[in-house]
Amino acid sequence: MGRIIMKTLDEFVRLLNEFDGISRKRVLPRIISKLREDSYKGDQPHSLGEDSAAISTDSDEIILLTTDSIVEELCLNHPHAAGFNVILANVMDIYAAGGVPTSFAVALSYSSPEIGANLLEGLIEASHRFRIPIVRGHTNSRSETTYVVGSATGTVKRDNLLTAGGAKEGDALVLLFDTTGSQGTSYKLGWDSVTDRSSDEVVNRLSLMDVLARKHILNASKDVSVAGVIGTAGMMVEYSGVGGVVDLDSIAETKPDSVTLVDWLRMYISLGFLVAIPSPHLDQLNTIVKQHEMTATHIGFVDSSPSLRLRMGGEERIMFDFSAGPVLTPRSKNSQ
């Protein structure tokens, strides 16, 4: 019975604003601005604010660099999942930029030998699943804190680089994901489309982004992070210097039947991406997505307003208001 209880749009806005995956992102503008202003050559193009930093080379190939960590609670209670997911999170960032992962480095901290062994097993399993070699690391096996932090590199052709900050007025916002999966066992707000997949199946789905990058039909791209699809949409449009609308009814129509809408809006989607694309390219997008056994859902659009709004049942509410100052991911002065 609980799955058919409808919430009002105001309740969705309140729940999402209270959601830890979004609320903890609100510190980012201060940190990002500080690094951009005060660190050495801090305001580089395609860096702070992107899923992966893009480092130019003398060739036509760009090196991608990203980093991510796993919260201590998951490391303590589900260390195998923590080791696996730190690689997953980094790999998603590389693919979101249109690239292909090339290497992974990890820092481990723990005191329990059993936790340390399980962290390693998760890392090794993920390295095979995503076909990314672990080439460097640091270990503290006598620490009072337990964590795993990883960094990944990747490559992409200069002309194929995807940015999180390129969304333009009139673009369609489209959620790309694998409908086959289940709610995570170690993290309830995680949609797991990876655990029961072979490496071939996972890489085929993820390579969708490499194909889309080479087709040059996307204006912006982000992986769906722990901020969920709404938080991810907010970060994308703010970093792009635009606004937009997300339609909850459209999301509800294609979400997995086993997951409530409240959970789906807040969910980390293991093979999920949000893209901004000009409407004339939607048919081509749908064709490519099907070839990679994924699903594309048109969930909203980009406009020139200073906000991201949620729409449901003909009503509309402001979720993020950018007019009063940075909220999640401020636009860089060097954004193109």
Q: What is the per-residue pLDDT for 335?
A: 59
For residue 7, the model assigns a pLDDT of 83
Treating both helix axes as pointing N-terminal to C-terminal, what angle do 79-96 and 199-215 enclose, rounded to 10 degrees? 20
- CB-based burial of residue 20 (10 Å sphere; 0-12 exposed, 13-18 middle, 19+ buried)? exposed
Please give the structure tokens belonging to residue 213.
């990058």
32: left (phi over 0), alpha (psi -120 to 50) or beta: alpha
Nearest to 196 by CA among 270, 109, 283: 270
Distance CA 80, CA 54 (A): 30
Q: What are the domain boundaries of the chain?
A: 2-29+163-321, 51-158
The full 3-state SS of 187-216, as one line of letters, equals CCCEEECCCCCCHHHHHHHHHHHHHHHHHC
CATH architecture of 51-158: 2-Layer Sandwich (3.30)
Segments in the chain forming alpha helices (H): 9-18, 20-23, 28-38, 72-77, 79-96, 113-129, 199-215, 228-239, 248-254, 261-265, 282-291
The pTM of this model reads 0.94
CA distance 32 to 259: 34
pLDDT at position 1 is 33
Two tokens, residue 24 = 């903890």
CA distances from residue 88 to 122, 195, 231, 262 in whole angstroms, order as listed = 11, 11, 19, 24
CB atoms within 10 A of CB 220: 24
Measured CA distances, 227 to 5, 31, 264 (Å): 24, 17, 11
From CA 329, how far away is CA 239, in angstroms rounded? 5
Superfamily of domain 2-29+163-321: PurM-like C-terminal domain (3.90.650.10)
Q: Which tokens is 176 given?
A: 């790309």
One digit per residue, the tens of pLDDT, for the chain of length 336 reads 334 446 899 999 999 999 999 999 999 999 999 999 999 998 888 999 999 999 998 899 999 999 999 989 999 999 999 999 999 999 999 999 999 999 999 999 999 999 999 999 999 999 999 999 999 999 999 999 999 999 999 999 999 999 999 999 999 999 999 999 999 888 889 999 998 899 999 999 999 999 999 999 999 999 999 999 999 999 999 999 999 999 999 999 999 999 999 999 999 999 999 999 999 999 999 999 999 999 999 999 999 999 999 999 999 999 999 999 999 999 887 654
CA distance 90 to 206: 13
125 φ, ψ (degrees, to nearest 5): -60, -45
Q: How many Cα atoms are found within 13 Å in the side-chain-facing hemisphere of 179? A: 14
Amino acid in the structure at residue 276: A
- 55's enclosing H/E stretch is strand 53-55
